[in-house]
Chains A and B, each alone.
Chain A
Amino acid sequence: DAKTTQPNSMESNEEEPVHLPCNHSTISGTDYIHWYRQLPSQGPEYVIHGLTSNVNNRMASLAIAEDRKSSTLILHRATLRDAAVYYCILRVPSNNDMRFGAGTRLTVKP
């Protein structure tokens, strides 16, 4: 299975943009890139996903490198409620199981 690599932790200031990187150099041509986040004392929640093109939704933007070996989750204006562990995951389209890594713990400072 293709793996992802993320920094263990990142810090951001409130109301500033945050760029969370993810490396997936062994990604195959059909793997989807998914991002989830886990707020304290809760189960993970879906954030965004993409295949080749950049994606935007109400929560975040996903920028995917042209060679697809890396991607970046962008929070345009971090709030204190965005403090969470963010997981970058690759999903094989032929099945629906996903492998979560350790993720990046984002701290947002007021």
Chain B
Amino acid sequence: DVKVTQSSRYLVKRTGEKVFLECVQDMDHENMFWYRQDPGLGLRLIYFSYDVKMKEKGDIPEGYSVSREKKERFSLILESASTNQTSMYLCASSHIYEQYFGPGTRLTVT
């Protein structure tokens, strides 16, 4: 079975902190994605990556950056966390069309 793991299920950070969300997949997938999910808004794509060291902006990249140094790992970085970044963050990976999602990280910024 494909497994996508995220470093934390729940995270609480203070405004202004630098936050790292880690995602690891074990199926050698080329493509990896970061979404955030908010009530009534569904999933919104933040960034995605087609290969190591490559990244593409999604619909809402402002306030975020990403890093993909190894194929299996895709990190989402909040340089200076703000309260409006309180959300559920979901990571996914895919080979061709089917995306496999991790369990999500619920981030609260106070």
Contact = CB atoms under 8 A, between A and B. Distances in A.
Question: Interface extent on B, as a size class?
Answer: 20 to 34
A69 interface: no
Contacts of A100: 35, 42-45
Contact of B102 (A32, A34, A43, A98): A43
A16 interface: no
B contact patch SS: strand
Interface in B40-73: 40-45, 48, 50, 56, 58-59
28 contacts: A34-B97, A42-B103, A43-B92, A43-B101, A43-B103, A44-B99, A46-B100, A49-B98, A87-B43, A91-B97, A95-B50, A96-B31, A96-B50, A96-B94, A96-B96, A96-B97, A97-B33, A97-B45, A97-B48, A97-B56, A98-B99, A100-B43, A100-B45, A101-B42, A102-B40, A102-B41, A102-B42, A103-B42
Nearest to B102: A43
Contacts of A98: 45, 99
A34 B94 CA distance: 14
A54 to B, nearest CB: 18
A49 B96 CA distance: 12
Interface in A1-52: 32, 34, 36, 42-46, 49
